[in-house]
Amino acid sequence: MKKDKSTVYDCHIIKLSQIESATGKITSVSSTLDVPFDIKRVYYLYDIPGGEKRGGHAHKRLEQVIVAASGSFDVLLDDGQIKKSINLNLPGYGLRIRPGIWRELVNFSSGAVVIAVASLIYDEEDYIRDYQEFIKFKTAILPKAE
């Protein structure tokens, strides 16, 4: 048995590889090499209307790295005790978000594109969408991860 002890300090910026040439740049993201988990899913957010917010949830087991592939936005992280805001605006860098962290994505620039690589396929059961439930989750004893 263990508690979910992840904190906002476990979420940090990862520098991704960048191949530069006169014709443009390439960043590749490979399982375990560039991100510290096996990638099971990639999804991207785009056509985000001005003033909108995304996220507003936590994950029980999923971890992910998110990248501002184009434009910029702020990621608000919250571990139930400490809050941290990180601005993403460089496609060569990703933000690692651990399980058990409440996140909101706000202040999207026009045309912003968010790429997310995730350790699990989509599973609504892995989401915590209610903030009070999240606070309970952070203080509950969890069964040991397999």
Binding ligand TYD (rule: CB under 6 A), the pick from 45, 66, 95, 112 is: 45
Structural contact between residues 79 and 138, judged by C-beta atoms closer than 8 angstroms: yes
Under the binding rule (CB under 6 A), the answer on residue 54 touching ligand TYD is yes
Does the annotation count 12 as an active-site position? no
Smallest separation, CB 88 to ligand TYD (Å): 14
DSSP 9: G
Cα distances (Å, whole numbers) of residue 95 to 15, 73, 117, 146: 9, 12, 10, 25
How many residues sit close enough to ligand TYD to count as binding (CB under 6 A)?
6
Q: Which is nearer to ligand TYD, 49 or 143 (CB)?
A: 49
| DSSP helix/strand/coil, 139 | helix
CA–CA distance, 138 with 146 (Å, rounded to integer): 19
How far CA 90 is from CA of 24, 38, 107, 114, in Å, comes to: 14, 23, 15, 11
- How far apart are CB 22 and ligand TYD at their closest, in Å? 35
By CB under 6 A, residue 61 contacts ligand TYD: no
What tokens appear for 9 in the block? 């300090």
* Least Cβ distance, residue 96 to ligand TYD (angstroms): 16
Per-residue x/- track, 80-119, ligand TYD (CB under 6 A): ----------------------------------------
Residues with a known catalytic role: 57
**What does the binding site for ligand TYD look like in residue numbers (CB under 6 A)?**
43, 45, 54-55, 57, 122
